[in-house]
Every structure is written in C-alpha cells, then in structure tokens.
Amino acid sequence: MNNQKLFMLLLGCKPKGRYTEQHDVFFGVAASIKELIPQIKEFWPEADEKIHIDAWREVSNVDKNSIKLVPKNEDNSYSNLKLFFINLGGYKQNEFDEFHYKMLTVAASKGEAIQKAKQTAFFKHTQFEGANAHIDDKYGIDVDDMFDIEDILPEDVKQHYRLSISIAENTIEDEIRLGYFKLSVIAAE
C-alpha cells in the first residue's frame, strides 16, 4: 500500500548575516511531515537549526482535480494535465516590499496556467503604473517562478512515483496549515 503523500511547505529562517527572515517553498514526498525533516535540512543546509515551517499543506486537491502520488509503473494511462507551482510577485503603492502569492494550479500547459494566474485577485490588485504584478518576461507577464511539480521533485522520487491528476468535481480544497512550526517540535511528536 502506498502511503506516500505530496507536501508543499513554506520554509523560513534567518541565515547568518541577513537582517530579515528568508523564505523558500519546498515540495517533498513522505508519509508525514515528520518524515520530511531530513529532506528539509538537505534542501536548505545553510539554515542550520534555525529553519522552521511557516505554512504547509498535503497536496491532494487543486482546482477541482484530485492529485495522487502513484507508483511510476502503475496504470500507464496518463492525463495531459500537469500540476504547476507559480510564485507571483507584485507591489502596492507606498509599501516598501514586494508581495508574493504562491499558487498551485492544474493546467494542460504553462500558457493555460499563466491565464489562470492572471485571473487571481492578487495579480489584479498588486500593480500600478511603473510597478506591475509579474510572472517573468518570457511568459508575457512577469512570473517570479513557475514550475511543473513533477520536474522539481527529487530524482529518487521521480524514479519511483508520478502524479496522477484526475477531474473530481466534488473535492474539498486542501487545508492550509499556518503558524510557526519548529522542526524540533515536529521531530519529537
């Protein structure tokens, strides 16, 4: 029985020599958050013991689609749908910051995923003349980052698993857990 799950985490830490907390998004595969700890430390070694989780979700439902991690050799019927991670960047007038909106979306292509990103309230409300919301010029709008999730999973995961995406109209969107989650506390649970 496959108990492996796809997780999306927002990691935070204040590396040596920095004045503000830094963040990065991590995608990992494990049976639980606790089992991800070695992967997290390997992902961001400069963080030492200062790394923590600010947000996380088990990725199982996105845009009325069921997302499952399945053995690579199981059921060769592939959908043309892909799971994309998009990191939108934008600005608010008189705010000394670049704001970000991290989203997952299911689409058949990067172009279709970008069209979905353009429909978000974030994209529409974090731009003004001279400071546009962005994804990255090569896509026609600026996207700070955009990835097909299967492309950025660790090699050992890609050798054994793939994502199975299927339309599921009656899905409930994944719960997003927010807070300051210390790895030491998670490890002790």
Q: Domains for the chain: give ranges and CATH numbers.
A: 1-59+174-188 (3.10.20.10), 61-171 (no CATH)
pTM: 0.86
Percent of the chain scoring above 70 in pLDDT? 86
pLDDT at 137: 43
Q: Which residues of 146-168 are buried (b: 16+ CB within 10 A; e: fewer)?
A: bbbbbeebeeebeeebbbbbeee
Give the mean pLDDT of 172-182.
Answer: 93
pLDDT at 182 over 90: yes
Cα atoms found within 13 Å of the Cα of residue 60, Cβ hemisphere only? 11
